[in-house]
Homo-oligomer: A and B are copies of this chain.
């Protein structure tokens, strides 16, 4: 199973709607970076509203993919972080200090557009 990545103008949209297994998470990481490269995406919104549990491996992959996307020049907004996920991320020491967050996909896209001055 792979996670679909949607291209909308200069942005990529991803909605993770089911718990990720390790293989799917790694595949997603690879696919997203490839897609940023191919499309010259200026920003990415990753919506995790449907995720209410995250383990340390998935949290690390998520943290990594944000860092890597930044290195490639794409801003990342994470949307819909549920309370248990926020707690887990903090407990695991996954730093999302300078990651933009928003309540849902729409607000995430707005934030990205503001950030990129459009």
Contact = CB atoms under 8 A, between A and B. Distances in A.
Interface residues of A, number: 19
Contacts of A4: 3-4, 15-17
**Copy total for this chain:** 2
A7 interface: yes
A105 B2 contact: no
A91 B16 CA distance: 36
Q: Which 8 A-B pairs have the closest CB atoms?
A: A4-B17, A6-B15, A4-B15, A9-B106, A1-B1, A8-B105, A8-B106, A6-B105
Interface string A40-73: 0000000100000000000000000000000000
A19 interface: no
